[in-house]
């Protein structure tokens, strides 16, 4: 369904770009609107204006439909642990283990507190 709406949306966008580019410019910077050509009658301007309005309304509707379809698949998740499932809910009032203790969750600080392994090779003497 979403793919179909995206295809219709892209067709509306390209058609609207074409219709807007066909309209007569009112003294614009391109300089192509002042000369008379195959699009010089007033009736053509009304058709192009109506076509632009219809295409813009279709663009608006498909944009809304796409945003609604995108929100249906959205599920809440944690931003702190990407890719991980949200933590399980414990009973209210149940004691929790403090951070840094076994089963307490730990974190980045606990990983940094781990002692370093002794060097594998010889080292230069250090002055004390």
Q: With a cut of 60, say whether residue 89 has pLDDT above it.
A: no
Between 9 and 32, the more confident residue is 9
With b for 16 or more beta-carbon neighbours within 10 A and e for fewer, the 89-115 pattern comes to: eeeeeeeeeeeeeeeeeeeeeeeeeee
Alpha-carbon distance 52 to 123, whole Å? 76
Please provide residue 2's backbone torsions phi and psi, each rounded to the nearest 5 degrees.
-65, -35
Q: How confident is the model at residue 74 (pLDDT cuts 50, 70, 90)?
A: confident
Closest by CA position to 16, among listed 70, 76, 57? 57
pTM above 0.85, yes or no: no
């Amino acid at each position: 369904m979403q793919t179909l709406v995206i295809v219709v949306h892209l067709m509306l966008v390209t058609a609207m770009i074409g219709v807007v580019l066909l309209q007569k410019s009112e003294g614009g910077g391109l300089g192509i609107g002042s000369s008379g050509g195959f699009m010089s009658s007033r009736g053509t301007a009304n058709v192009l204006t109506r076509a632009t309005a219809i295409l813009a309304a279709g663009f608006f509707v498909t944009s809304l439909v796409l945003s609604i379809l995108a929100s249906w698949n959205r599920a809440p998740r944690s931003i702190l642990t990407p890719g991980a499932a949200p933590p399980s809910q414990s009973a209210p009032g149940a004691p929790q283990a403090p951070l840094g203790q076994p089963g307490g969750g730990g974190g980045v600080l606990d990983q940094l507190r781990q002692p370093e392994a002794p060097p594998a090779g010889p080292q230069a003497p250090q002055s004390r």
